Amino acid sequence: MALNIEQGATSHSAYDLRSHMSDVVETHTLAILVENEPGVLARVIGLFSGRGYNIESLTVAEVDHGGHRSRITIVTSGTPQVIHQIRMQLERMVPVHEVSDMTVEGPFVSRELALIKVIAKGEHRVEALRIAEIFRCNVVDSTLESFVFELTGPPEKIDAFTDLMRPLGEVRLARTGVAAIARGL
Amino acid sequence: MSEQMTGAKMIVEALKEQGVDTVFGYPGGAVLPIYDELFQQNAIRHILVRHEQGAVHAAEGYARSTGKPGVVLVTSGPGATNAVTGLTDALMDSIPIVCLTGQVPTFMIGSDAFQEADTVGITRPCTKMNWLVKETDALADTIHQAFHIATAGRPGPVLVDIPKDVQFATGTYTTKPKAKVSHYQPKVRGQIETITDLVHAMEKAERPVFYTGGGVINSGDKASVLLRELVEATGFPITSTLMGLGAYPASGDKWLGMLGMHGTYEANLAMHGCDLMINVGARFDDRITGRIADFSPNSRKAHIDIDPSSINKVIHADFPIIGDVAHVLEDMLKVWKARGRKTNGAAVQTWWQQIEAWKAVNCLSYRQDGPTIKPQYALERLEALTKDRKDRFICTEVGQHQMWAAQFMGFEEPNHWMTSGGLGTMGYGFPSSVGVQIAHPDALVINVAGEASWLMNMQEMGTAVQYRLPVKQFILNNERLGMVRQWQELLHGERYSESWSEALPDFVKLAEAFGAKGILCSDPKDLDDAIMEMLNYDGPVIFDCLVEKHENCFPMIPSGKAHNEMLLGEAETQGVIDGAGGVLV
C-alpha cells in the first residue's frame, strides 16, 4: 500500500510523505439520515472520494416521505481513526441529520437483494435449481437455458451462492448493496 | 406580510435584511436582473472587481477584518469557476462568505447553454453548503439560510446558484424571521465536566502552553478578551498559529511568537517540551505538528474546537472540548476562579526560565550588511514605522514574505491580519487588501507581497484606483519564487527549476500606468524615507522593494522532523548556539 519512498528523500520536504496511521483495517456499516434534497447523495459520495475513504456498498432511498428524509446505508472500511473521521465528517455536513455506526452501536441485521442470472444447460441447469432451493432463492424468470434467481440475505450468503453457480454456467449478477437496521427496540 | 416581487428584487431585499452594506462582484449575462436592481437602490454598495477570484478574496478581507460575512455576486459559467479558488481558500480558513452566482434559465440547464457550468457540482467540495434555487418562492428563504450556515458554527463559504428565469419571475418574499429554522445549530457550550477536568490539569501543570488558532478570531472579539484574561491570570506562555495572530498581543509578556514550520524556536520547543498543551481553536495542521509521532511527546492535550471533526483528526485529545472558543473560555475562567485561581507557581516559573533560555537564542536574527536590503530588515523597518497606527491592517500573499511578515510584524488586536493559511493562495493578498480598505476607508492597509504572488491578481489595481483605495502594496522583490527556491536549495540539489521571475514589469511604471504611485527602493539607507513616502501618499502605492535574492526563511522545521529538529539559519552561523546544538537541540 505504501509508496516506495527512499528513506531520507523527504527530509527537507514540505510534506511528510510517510503515513502515520495504523494498519488495522475494520469494516463498518453506517446508517445516515439525510435531508432528501437535490445533490445530497453527491455530497456524501463526494466526501468519501474527496477524502480518500472507501465505499464497499451504498444504498439509499427516501424513508420518510412527509419529512423528506432519506436513509443512506454505507459499508466502509478503514483504520479506527479513519472510521471515526468518516463519522465526524458526515455529522458536520449541513443536510445530515444523524449518523449511526451500526457496527459499534450493537447487534444489527443487514440484508442485500441480488438477482442472479445463470445460463446453463442439461445437468448443470438442474444442479443450479437444486442449489437455489437450498439457498431458498425465488425463481423469477426462466427459459430453457437460463434462470433468474432472487436471493435476499447478508452479503456473504450472496457471495457463497454465486461462487457455487459459477462452475455451472455463465453468471450475471445485479446486487442492491446492503440495507441495515439495529436489532431490538 | 407576504410581499410579491421579482427574484432579483428579493435578492437585494434579503441582502438588506441581512445587514449587508457591501457586495463584491462582476456582472454578466446571467446576473443582469440583479445588477438592474442594484442600480436602483443605494443601501448596498457594489464594488466592481477586475476578476471573480479577486471578488472572493476581497470579500474574505472584508469578512476577516469586520467579523461580518463577505458577500460576492458573480455570473454563471466562468464567473462561477473563477470564484472557485477563493471559495476553497475561505473553506480552508473558515471565512464566512455568501457567494451568489447567476445560472442559465432553469429550462436550459443541462443543455450546454452559453456560459453554463454545473456550479453547484463544481463548488460542492469547496463550500460548506450550496443550493441551486429553482423556485422564486424559495429564493429569499434560501438566502437567509445561506447567511445562517455561513456564520453558524465553524464559519465557511456558501453558494446560492440562481437561474436567470428565477430572477425575472415574481414570487413571495420570505422575511428573515419567517425563514425556515435550520436544523444546523452547532452547539457552542463545551461539556462542563471536561472543562473542569482541564482546569484540574491546569492547576497541576508544570510546563503548560496555550496553542491558539484562527478559531479564537472567528469566535469574535470577546474570545480574544477572555483569552488575554486567562493567559494573564494563569501566567502560562502562549503561542499561536499563522491564522490566530493578534488574538493575544505580540507585545504581551507571555507571547512566544508564532509556532510551526517557520515559527520561533521558543514557541516550537515549548510545544515539544510542554506537559499540558491547551489548543484553543487550532487544528493541528501539518505545518504545525511536523512529524506526528514525535509531536509534543510528553504532554496531555486539550483541544477546544467548534468542529467535532477537527478533534482527534490528527492528534489524540486527552481533553476534547466541542464548543465555541468564547463560551468555553468563559466557563474555564469561571471554574478556575471558583476553585481558587490555582496554578503550580514554582514549576511554571522554572518553565519560564527554560523558555527565556530558548528566547535568548534569538532565532529571528539575521544580518543586514552590505548594500542590499534584507527582506527581514525591510519588514522590521515597516513594523517600526507603522506599529503605532492602531488602525493598521496587514495582508499578505503566500511564500517567504508571508512567513517573514508573521515573524517580524507585531499584531496587537484580532482581525488585523489577513493571510491565506490553509490553502496557501498566491494572489490572495492584493484583493484581500482591497476588501479590508473598503470596510475601513481611513485605515492603513498594507499588503506585504512577493513579486510573483502579487502579479497573480495585479488586475485589481484597477479596482484600487477606481475606488481611490489607498492600499499600500509592499512588494519584497527578490525576482524569485522565494519559497520554492528555498526548497529547491535544501531538497533538490540547488536545481532551481522554473523558480525565478523572468521578464518582470517595471513596477513604478506599472503603478503609473494605472494612475497610482510607484516607489522603487533598493538601498537600505533609503528605506525609511521611502516607506514614509509610501505612508504619506494618499492613494494606492506599489512599493517595489528590491531585496536580497537568495535569503532563506528561518527558523524552519523540515517536514517529517520534530519540533526540536529546527534549522536555525542565521542564528546558527552567528554562533549563537554551540556547534552540537546548532541543528538539534
Q: What is the CATH number of the domain that holds A52?
A: 3.30.70.260
Per the structure, the complete domain to which residue A146 belongs is given by 109-182
Rounded CA Rg of chain B? 25
A79 at B interface, C-beta within 8 A? no
CB-CB neighbors (< 8 A) of B560 in chain A: 10-11, 13, 16-18
Tell me: pLDDT of B363 over 80: yes
CB-CB neighbors (< 8 A) of B125 in chain A: 46, 50
Task: Name the pLDDT band for B274 (thresholds 50, 70, 90).
Answer: very high
pLDDT for B182 equals 87
pLDDT for A22 equals 63
pLDDT for B567 equals 87
Which pLDDT tens digit goes with each residue over B303-325? 999 999 999 999 999 999 999 99
Q: Are strands B276-280 and B208-212 parallel, antiparallel or unpaired?
A: parallel
Tell me: pLDDT of B473 over 90: yes
Is residue A1 included in any domain, yes or no? Answer: no
pLDDT for A181 equals 94
pLDDT for A17 equals 61
Select which of B13, B17, B37, B52 is catalytic. B52
Rounded to whole angstroms, how far apart are CA atoms B435 and B437? 5
Which pLDDT tens digit goes with each residue over B171-212? 999 999 999 988 899 999 999 999 999 999 999 999 999 999
- Of A70, A105, A140, the last residue of a domain is A105
Instruction: State whether A97 and A134 are in the same domain.
Output: no
Select which of B128, B164, B374, B472 is catalytic. B164
Instruction: State whether A90 and A137 are in the same domain.
Output: no
Tell me: pLDDT of B146 over 90: yes
Question: Higher confidence at residue B106 or residue B583?
Answer: B106
B96 at A interface, C-beta within 8 A? no
Instruction: State whether A114 and A93 are in the same domain.
Output: no
CA distance A43 to chain B (A): 7
Which residue, B171, B184, B183, B220, is CA-closest to B14?
B171
CA distance A79 to chain B (A): 12
Tell me: pLDDT of B580 over 60: no
Which residue, B189, B154, B152, is CA-closest to B329?
B189
Instruction: State whether A87 and A130 are in the same domain.
Output: no
Helix ranges, B100-205 (H): 119-123, 139-151, 164-168, 192-204
- Of A53, A83, A105, the last residue of a domain is A105
Best A18, A68, A92 residue to mutate vs chain B (most B CBs within 10 Å): A92
**Residue B21 DSSP SS3:** coil
CATH number for the domain spanning A158: value is 3.30.70.1150
Instruction: State whether A34 and A101 are in the same domain.
Output: yes
Is residue A172 included in any domain, yes or no? Answer: yes
Best A5, A12, A88 residue to mutate vs chain B (most B CBs within 10 Å): A12
Residue B558 to residue A11, Cβ atoms within 8 A: yes
pLDDT for B582 equals 33
Rounded to whole angstroms, how far apart are CA atoms B410 and B405? 9
pLDDT for A24 equals 86
pLDDT for B396 equals 98
| Secondary-structure percent of chain A, ordered helix, strand, coil, rounded to 5 | 30, 40, 35
CB-CB neighbors (< 8 A) of B291 in chain A: 16, 20
Is residue A46 included in any domain, yes or no? Answer: yes
CB-CB neighbors (< 8 A) of B490 in chain A: 12
Task: Name the pLDDT band for B585 (thresholds 50, 70, 90).
Answer: very low
Which pLDDT tens digit goes with each residue over B323-350? 999 999 999 999 999 999 999 999 999 9
Which pLDDT tens digit goes with each residue over A9-56? 655 566 666 555 567 899 999 999 999 999 999 999 999 999 999 999
A18 at B interface, C-beta within 8 A? yes
Is residue A21 included in any domain, yes or no? Answer: no
Q: Is B543 a catalytic residue?
A: no
Residue B129 to residue A89, Cβ atoms within 8 A: no
Is residue A10 included in any domain, yes or no? Answer: no
What's the total number of domains in chain A? 2
Is residue A3 included in any domain, yes or no? Answer: no
Instruction: State whether A117 and A154 are in the same domain.
Output: yes
pTM: 0.93
Percent of chain B's residues with pLDDT above 70: 97
Tell me: pLDDT of B55 over 70: yes
CA distance between the termini of chain A? 41
- Of A105, A137, A172, the last residue of a domain is A105
Spell out a b/e string for B546-579, using b for 16 or more CB atoms within 10 Å of the CB, else e. Answer: bbbeebbbbbbbbbbbbbbbbbbbbbbeeebbee
Best B141, B184, B495 residue to mutate vs chain A (most A CBs within 10 Å): B184
**Residue B348 DSSP SS3:** helix
Strand order in the sheet with B392-396: B417-418, B392-396, B444-450, B472-477, B541-546, B517-521
Instruction: State whether A98 and A115 are in the same domain.
Output: no
Q: Is B10 a catalytic residue?
A: no
A143 at B interface, C-beta within 8 A? no
Q: What is the mean pLDDT of residues B211-236?
A: 97
Q: Are strands A146-153 and A138-143 parallel, antiparallel or unpaired?
A: antiparallel
Residue B482 C-alpha cell reads as 522565494
Instruction: State whether A144 and A157 are in the same domain.
Output: yes
Instruction: State whether A91 and A121 are in the same domain.
Output: no
Instruction: State whether A34 and A82 are in the same domain.
Output: yes
Enumerate the β-bridge partners of residue B500.
Answer: B480
Instruction: State whether A86 and A134 are in the same domain.
Output: no
Q: Which of residues 308-347 of B touch A (CB under 8 A)?
A: 308-309, 311-313
Q: How many residues can be counted in chain B?
A: 585
Enumerate the β-bridge partners of residue B567.
Answer: B556
Is residue A11 included in any domain, yes or no? Answer: no
Average pLDDT value over all residues in chain B: 95
Is residue A8 included in any domain, yes or no? Answer: no
Residue for grid cell 481611490: B468
Instruction: State whether A32 and A101 are in the same domain.
Output: yes
Tell me: pLDDT of A2 over 90: no
Q: Is B451 a catalytic residue?
A: no
Task: Name the pLDDT band for B574 (thresholds 50, 70, 90).
Answer: very low
